[in-house]
Chain A
Amino acid sequence: MTITTNRAGAFRVAFALIVALSLSVVLAQTSSAQGNSVVSGIVVGVQTDESGNLIQFALSDSSGQVTTFKLSAATKYGLENQAGDRWVSTQGEDASEAARRLRDHRERFAPITVSFENGIASSVVEREEGKLETNLGYLFTVFAITWALFFTYVLYMGRKQRVLQYEIAKLKGIIG
């Protein structure tokens, strides 16, 4: 009896976690990217030629949409390393350093902001302002899941309590 109750409890906890995770996925995916000429996000891909010069790179924005950017000789860079030292240059001046810097950003999950026109990046800089207005859904999801899971757990304990009360009263009646 105890084993069965414990198993059922473990399954309920696992079920609640799965439901909560699914909810988070569904709600979070409703956020949409803004279709303007400036986008912020994380570097997810860097392509270079045989000499190690940057050819193009891919960026994933806050809604998960991946965009690939081509470059021109005039593309400007303003990127910081982990220590905060800023490197300023252009694609025409040092394309291999640009590749190295973007790979470093990819490894550190450091966000950048890209200004672009017709798919060609005009500037690639540290994300200077990341208000992420479209991401309130994530905050709401965390809030909803947290309280839903706590309430589910309290309800689970309440139900367990009622079953125990019933069985104890029944047995006391038999014995007494």
Chain B
Amino acid sequence: MTNKILNLFDPILIFSAALMGVALYMIFIWAPTETNQGAVQRILYFHVPIAWGAMLGIFVVSGSSIMYLWKKEEKWDRLAVASAEVGVVFGGLMLLTGMIWARPVWSVWWTGEAKLTTALILFFIYVAYLMFRAYFPPGAQRQRLAAIIGVIGAVDTPIIYFAANLWAQAHPPIITGPVADSDSALGSDLGTVLLVATVAFSFLFVYLVQSRYKIRKSEDDLVELKRASSASVMTGAG
């Protein structure tokens, strides 16, 4: 039942790996070197797609939590947990890659500007969500309260996206999406690399969430089997 959870021949993983190969070629060989920042600018091609994955994660957590609160179906709760766990990996990487980029460009690892602070808050929301689930006693109440945390957590996402433009501090302005400033938007070459890398990381995100979802399902199956086992022992004893 569980032997195909981490399927290395999963079409999503194969497609993601192939696209990642193309993205790496474009990042390191095809894309021109940016004149102001030099080689470190290429960190952007990792940082932005990973940040996109982190924000996608909280959207999935929030959407699944709303569906769970509405339908009360276990599958939505499992999807929220899976997405939160993958989201914390993407969120942690978003912070680390951003810090490593900031060191040579800003000469500091971290500064308390708006975009960085709201991104850190997103990471803490993920961690709080997972810690709450780990320490609160299992049951419907835990799932309901976790779902509420997941829904509230999504409020941070639009704040992160607009923070660079709202507060106009040190972080570069929005370069992708509907409100990107045309003066600061990426050129066609850089935009193409960013798009390919974002699609590749998105498929990786889907594969990881899918795998984690299946593991969560197996964990629930195990709990059911333990209950059945206890019941059969009790019946045998009776």
Which A residues are within 8 Å of any B CB, using their own CB? 2-3, 5-7, 9-10, 13, 17, 20-21, 24, 28, 31, 41-42, 44, 60-64, 108-109, 111, 127, 129-133, 135-136, 138-139, 141-143, 145-146, 149-150, 153-154, 157-158, 160-161, 164-165, 167-168, 171-172, 174-175
Contact = CB atoms under 8 A, between A and B. Distances in A.
A172 B97 CA distance: 45
Contacts of A154: 6, 208, 211
Contacts of B103: 28, 64, 138
Interface in B126-163: 127, 130-131, 133-135, 138
Interface string B212-238: 100100110111011011001000000
Interface residues of B, number: 58
B170 A109 contact: yes
B42 A139 contact: yes
Given A153-B89, A168-B225, 18 more contacts: A2-B138, A3-B134, A10-B134, A13-B89, A21-B96, A24-B99, A61-B107, A64-B103, A132-B37, A136-B39, A145-B100, A146-B93, A153-B208, A154-B6, A157-B208, A160-B215, A164-B218, A175-B225
B134 A42 contact: no
Interface string B24-46: 00000000010111111011001
Q: Which 4 residue pairs are nearest across A and B when measured between Cβ atoms? A: A132-B38, A60-B107, A6-B134, A42-B107
A111 B41 CA distance: 14
A138 B222 contact: no
B190 interface: no
B225 A172 contact: yes
B203 interface: no
B197 to A, nearest CB: 11
A91 B130 CA distance: 57
A5 B218 CA distance: 13
B57 interface: no
B221 A168 contact: yes
B46 A142 contact: yes
Contacts, number: 158
B39 to A, nearest CB: 5
A41 B133 CA distance: 45
B100 A142 contact: yes
Contacts of B104: 31, 62-63, 132, 135, 138
Contacts of A3: 134-135, 138
Contact of A141 (B38, B100, B131, B170): B100
Interface of B: 1-3, 5-6, 33, 35-40, 42-43, 46-47, 50, 85-86, 88-89, 92-93, 96-97, 99-101, 103-108, 111, 127, 130-131, 133-135, 138, 170, 204, 208, 211-212, 215, 218-219, 221-223, 225-226, 228-229, 232
Contacts of A161: 2, 5-6, 215, 218
Contacts of B46: 142-143, 146
Contacts of A109: 105-108, 111, 170
Most chain-A CB neighbours within 10 Å: which of B3, B36, B208?
B36
A60 B229 CA distance: 66
Nearest to A8: B134
Contact of A129 (B35, B134, B212): B35
B190 to A, nearest CB: 15
A94 to B, nearest CB: 26
Contacts of B35: 129-131
